[in-house]
Amino acid sequence: MTNFKRTILALIIASAAIISPAQENLSALLPIPEKIECRTGEKAFDLKYAAITINDCEDSPYIKEELERIIEERTGIKVCSSKGKKSIEIVLSEEKGKEEYSIEIDSRHIRFTGGSEAGIFYALKTFDQLLLGDAINSNEGKVAPIHIEDSPRYGYRAVMLDPARHFLPVEDVKQFIDRMACYKYNVLQLHLTDDQGWRIEIKSHPELTEKGAFRNPKGGNNGPDNGYYTQEQIKELIEYAAKRHIEIVPELDIPGHSAAILAAYPELGCPFRHGDAKEIGKVTNMMLCASSEKAYKVYEDIIREVAQLFPSKRIHLGGDEAAVKDNWAQCEECLALMRSAGYKKPSQLMNIFFGRMLEYVRNNGKEAILWCELDNMWPPANDYLFPYPKDVTLVTWRNGLTPKCIELTRNNGHKLIMAPGEHTYLDYPQWQNDLPEFNNWGMPVTTLQKAYELDPGYGLKDSEQEHIIGVMATLWAEAIKDINRVNYMFYPRGLAIAEAAWSGMEQRSWESFKKRLYPNLYELMKQGINFRVPFETGGK
């Protein structure tokens, strides 16, 4: 028997041990809802005699289709739409918040109430998990009585995929969207440009994809090294995600991580580097030139097209790991610009560079997100390298620096997204010696338990964390070549982050999470979704 087959067999045994007794219908709820009232002793609702009625959201047939699909897949019952003895009601209520919902089940009624269609959608996802966790009742076409009231801790619950490093075809991204929606994520950030590839069509500059999207002459046109999304494909993904109440945020990484665009337009870099080889995927320290007017013009065009394409109000512009010493500090034109601006350090040219780039974002009615580099936030204001404007949302990411980032963003009036590397960087190995395809930069280990231990508010008083708007799990793809590896690195740790983003600390428990995890892993296996089996959670 191969190791793979042993792994699957062990998972089946572990899953069966948990779900076969059917337990209660809470055993698969993930993320855990805010308030749950189990009504033991009452009769179950019999789906065989049910009819669906919808109030206020008749224009969204997907909601009804999704409910019918869930019931048929879990019970084998096709619920009729005509009058029945028992009712399943879907109701919108202005008294609830946008993503807030409730589920009320007794022997005669099931009622899903949401503050919007998003709230109804999340109610259906929770209902799906109720049926998954209560196998005996579900097999008989019944649902145990229960009352659930639920709303998210954070309104921004994101996953970042990185098709720039290794391209992910459209159908693979759709598959990932389907599963992340099950766990109430509502933002997908696509890292579309980096040293390893330019992955989005820009019609005003076709050279970006003609050259920047292909780094392997012997490879095909649909990943992992080659490929890009046409604007029609981006629209298709946006529509697909929106149907599942997921917003897609584009990321264009500047001024560093720019080898792919410089392969197409070498003149956008500093003049002294124009003749350097631009081998896409292997050059990691090249930057756009702060003094290049053409660089600004090209990015004005890029930002305009991207802003018109994506409905999201946000565009992520990167801003991390800029190799200033290897570029601007050696560029005569940049040094002349520095002196004329009265700056003392080449890194202060970030004020000019992002001053113009952020204006392009604002002119297109969007808001910018940047990775938070703390050098830009202290020491005192007159020595700032690049004091972030207050309308920029920042993302904390560097290991160990998040507490300081929370403090500085709070003091400076910034909104903050939590992606601390030690908890949410899911390209890190999940267990000692359980590495990606190659250990590309000495990554630390982030176990499932370490991911689950994330408290996005870091235990602070409410008044000290009010500026935190959400959480983001990240999947940097230097060593993640396809969707199977994406899923392996994301699951089950992505489920831990989902609960951290949705559920309050008072509802969360590691011991409870472990028990609720296995039915969901069993479901992933049935769906053909790759994941790492968390053997370490077994035993006492």
**Average of per-residue pLDDT values in the chain:** 91
Residue 485 reports pLDDT greater than 80 = yes
- pLDDT for the residue 377: 64
Instruction: Tell me how far apart the alpha carbons of residues 263 and 265 are, in angstroms, rounded to a whole number.
Output: 6
Residue 2 reports pLDDT greater than 70 = no
DSSP assignment of 179-221: HHHHTT--EEEEEEEETTEE-B--TT-THHHHHHTB--TTS-S
Confidence of residue 497 (pLDDT cuts 50, 70, 90): very high
- pLDDT for the residue 380: 46
- pLDDT for the residue 52: 86
Residue 282 reports pLDDT greater than 80 = no
Coil, helix or strand for 403?
Answer: helix
Instruction: Tell me how far apart the alpha carbons of residues 119 and 461 are, in angstroms, rounded to a whole number.
Output: 28
Q: What is the pLDDT of residues 341-355, one digit of tens each?
A: 999 999 999 999 999
Q: What is the pLDDT of residues 243-274, one digit of tens each?
A: 999 999 999 999 999 999 999 999 999 999 99
Q: What is the pLDDT of residues 191-217, one digit of tens each?
A: 999 999 999 999 999 999 999 999 988
Residue 453 reports pLDDT greater than 60 = yes
- 8 A C-beta contact, residue 361 and residue 393: no
* Residue 394 in tokens: 């920042």
Residue 281 reports pLDDT greater than 90 = no
Residue 15 reports pLDDT greater than 50 = no
Q: What is the pLDDT of residues 68-104, one digit of tens each?
A: 999 999 999 998 665 667 899 999 999 999 999 999 9
Top pLDDT among 85 and 489 is at: 489
Residue 327 reports pLDDT greater than 80 = yes
Place of tokens 């599942």: 244
- pLDDT for the residue 81: 60
* Residue 177 in tokens: 């969207």
Q: How many CB atoms lie within 10 A of CB 281?
A: 19
Top pLDDT among 519 and 10 is at: 519
pTM summary value: 0.93
- pLDDT for the residue 51: 86
Residue 309 reports pLDDT greater than 50 = yes
Coil, helix or strand for 84?
Answer: coil
* Active-site annotation holds for 321: yes
- 8 A C-beta contact, residue 467 and residue 415: yes
Mean pLDDT over 399-410 rounds to: 92
Confidence of residue 218 (pLDDT cuts 50, 70, 90): confident
Q: What is the pLDDT of residues 103-127, one digit of tens each?
A: 999 999 999 999 999 999 999 999 9
Mean pLDDT over 130-135 rounds to: 94
Residue 540 reports pLDDT greater than 70 = no
Residue 439 reports pLDDT greater than 80 = no
Residue of 134, 194, 305, 499 marked active site: 194
Residue 13 reports pLDDT greater than 50 = no
Q: What is the pLDDT of residues 426-436, one digit of tens each?
A: 999 999 888 76
Confidence of residue 5 (pLDDT cuts 50, 70, 90): very low
- Percent of the chain, pLDDT > 90? 78
CB neighbour list of residue 69: distance below 8 Å, 6 or more residues apart: none
- 8 A C-beta contact, residue 454 and residue 446: no
Residue 514: enclosing H or E segment and its boundaries?
Answer: helix 510-526
* Active-site annotation holds for 274: no
Residue of 191, 245, 257, 423 marked active site: 257
Residue of 73, 321, 383, 466 marked active site: 321
- pLDDT for the residue 82: 58
Cα distances (angstroms) measured from residue 119 to each of 66, 92, 211, 327, 384: 14, 9, 43, 49, 43
- pLDDT for the residue 477: 94
Q: How many CB atoms lie within 10 A of CB 441?
A: 9
* Active-site annotation holds for 467: no
Closest alpha carbon to 491 in 443, 466, 528, 454: 528
Top pLDDT among 58 and 288 is at: 288
DSSP 44: P
- Percent of the chain, pLDDT > 70? 90
Residue 16 reports pLDDT greater than 70 = no
Identify the CATH number of the domain defined by range 35-150: 3.30.379.10
For the chain, the domains span 35-150
Residue 37 reports pLDDT greater than 80 = yes
- pLDDT for the residue 375: 73
